[in-house]
Chains A and B, each alone.
Chain A
Amino acid sequence: MTQPLSDGDLTRRSFLERVATTGAQTFIFGGLFVTTALMRLPQDATPGTTPAKRKKRAPEVIYGFVVDTTKCIGCGSCVRACKAENNVPDGFCRTWVEEYTFYPNGEVVVNSPKGGENGFPDDAPDRNQPAEIGQLPSRGFFVPKLCNHCIDTPCIQVCPVGASYKTPEGVVLVDPQRCVGCGYCVQACPFGSRFLNPETNTADKCTWCYHRITKGLKPACVECCPAEARIFGNVNDPNSEISRILATNRVQVLKSYLGTNPRTRYIGLDSDVI
């Protein structure tokens, strides 16, 4: 390919070769240039943008969720309400309750039959049976789980078709029209909050009942909780209940070491909760 470009030497073959390579190069690099130019889209409002831009687009409403594990009685009302409200197929949950039982020998048993849909059985050993003394659980509690609606979401990052997105209010949603059901997001979520819905063949997850909260209602699980263990609201409004609770409680998030910055926060979380 080092021939000088002179009329005499240029054979048909080498000309075609050059046309082919130049064409391929132009196509690849030109195409890359054009696509990157076209795809330079406005990025998510929260991280990465300049402060001026962020301020301009700062929405009035940012939703937050607090789970008070000390109040949860493990009745499963939230699970049933969520399933009925969102038509969640059998065997899957958008929100679920985990039962943690600790034994003196250090054993931790985590139980969640059907996500807690039918409550929890009384399965602790009988305290009046001498044979079981010593194996009696030392403590236990319930931890309701749901999508954490992270600020730095791993699930949105891995979506190859732009089907996972965040609304201006901070709610992480799936666009069922664009989702191809590849399941990357299901694997990327460190909290197990997503699943592939066998009826629609798309990724499905907790939406904080987006269709309810945009109409001024509470999510179905919050509405039905008889123990006030779930608090939902606008964290940008200093007078909302959630702002008051966030101001007067010590809250924690699940798996903070992963740096996903969850918007769902927990009161009374134990270090053994995973």
Chain B
Amino acid sequence: MGHARHFVRLFGLVAIVVIAFLGARAQVVPKDFGTQGPFRASAIPEAAKREPRHLGSEACSDCHAKINDAWAKGKHHTPQCENCHGPGLLHVKVMSEDSVDAYPDQIKKNPKALRVTSGIQECEWCHLKTFERPSTLKSIKNVERHIIETGGKYTAASKCTDCHNPHTTVVK
């Protein structure tokens, strides 16, 4: 008998350490870790859950039928509504409700919840001719020159929308 208890103690100690390790591991490693690969499997549905913020131009047609029709029939149907106006999710949500009380201050200050259009910056993003830009769409080389050449009077406050309808490009 004698020394057997040393071994009992030894293996007992080892067993405790192994159990403690496994226990700690079970605590810190999520249950679904490794079921589909070396990652947490429920991260995939979590990543897919978020709500899309860009709704597409069809989402605007119910309430803005006139503009949407003109846009769809005109020459400017390639840029989408949200290209110039920013993502529409919040706008549609806010506009579908009666008041903005439930929304944060940011929206109370900007109750349309859209990007503010300047009527010139948006146009320049796509239409200003730069050396690197391919000539696939009609562009203007110089804002001032374009406005003067087309019979306008250029001032610092000049906008493209002074003459062009942004939704159809038609000159007023």
Chain B residues with CB under 8 Å of A209's CB are 52
User: Once A and B bind, how many residue pairs between them come within 8 Å at the CB atom?
Assistant: 165
| Known contacts A77-B83, A227-B136; A175 and B43 CB within 8 A of each other | yes
| Known contacts A210-B47, A223-B54; A81 and B131 CB within 8 A of each other | no
Binds A, one of B12-20, B148-156, B164-172: B12-20
The distance in angstroms between the C-alpha atoms of A220 and B82, with both chains bound, is 10
| Known contacts A43-B37, A75-B125, A224-B80; A142 and B132 CB within 8 A of each other | yes
- Tell me which residues from 27 to 45 in chain B have a Cβ below 8 Å from any Cβ of chain A: 30, 33-40, 43-44
Chain A nearest CB from B136 CB (Å) reads 7
B112 is an interface residue with CB less than 8 A from chain A: no
A140 is an interface residue with CB less than 8 A from chain B: yes
C-beta contact mask, A75-109 vs B, less than 8 Å → 1, else 0?
11100110011000000000000011100000000
Check B37–A41 contact: CB distance below 8 A: yes
Chain A nearest CB from B47 CB (Å) reads 5
B87 is an interface residue with CB less than 8 A from chain A: yes
A212 is an interface residue with CB less than 8 A from chain B: yes
Check B39–A23 contact: CB distance below 8 A: no
Check B134–A71 contact: CB distance below 8 A: yes
Interface size for chain A: under 10, 10 to 19, 20 to 34, or 35 or more residues? 35 or more
Check A162–B40 contact: CB distance below 8 A: yes
A73 is an interface residue with CB less than 8 A from chain B: yes
Chain A residues with CB under 8 Å of B87's CB are 81, 84-85, 220
The distance in angstroms between the C-alpha atoms of A35 and B86, with both chains bound, is 50
Binds B, one of A25-33, A144-152, A187-195, A242-250: A25-33
B116 is an interface residue with CB less than 8 A from chain A: no
Chain A residues with CB under 8 Å of B132's CB are 74, 99-101, 120, 124, 140-142
Chain A residues with CB under 8 Å of B86's CB are 80, 84
B126 is an interface residue with CB less than 8 A from chain A: yes
- Tell me which residues from 1 to 15 in chain B have a Cβ below 8 Å from any Cβ of chain A: 2-3, 6, 9-10, 13-14
B74 is an interface residue with CB less than 8 A from chain A: no
Closest chain A residue to B142 by CB distance? A122
C-beta contact mask, A123-137 vs B, less than 8 Å → 1, else 0?
110000000000001
Check A165–B48 contact: CB distance below 8 A: no
| Known contacts A19-B10, A73-B137, A85-B53; A226 and B130 CB within 8 A of each other | no
Closest chain A residue to B22 by CB distance? A34
Check A19–B40 contact: CB distance below 8 A: no
Closest chain B residue to A72 by CB distance? B134
B128 is an interface residue with CB less than 8 A from chain A: yes
The distance in angstroms between the C-alpha atoms of A140 and B130, with both chains bound, is 10
Check A140–B131 contact: CB distance below 8 A: yes
Check B47–A19 contact: CB distance below 8 A: no
Check B10–A175 contact: CB distance below 8 A: no
The distance in angstroms between the C-alpha atoms of A92 and B42, with both chains bound, is 27
Check B37–A223 contact: CB distance below 8 A: no
Instruction: Give the 3 A-B residue pairs with the shortest CB-CB distance, closest first.
Output: A165-B39, A140-B132, A124-B131
Residues of A within 8 A of B (CB): 7, 15, 19, 22-23, 26-27, 30-31, 34-35, 38-39, 41-45, 70-77, 80-81, 84-85, 99-101, 118-124, 137, 140-142, 162-168, 173, 175, 177-178, 207, 209-212, 214-215, 217, 220, 223-224, 226-227
> Besides the contacts A45-B37, A120-B132, A226-B137, what 7 more A-B pairs have beta carbons closer than 8 Å?
A43-B38, A77-B125, A77-B126, A122-B129, A175-B39, A207-B47, A226-B126
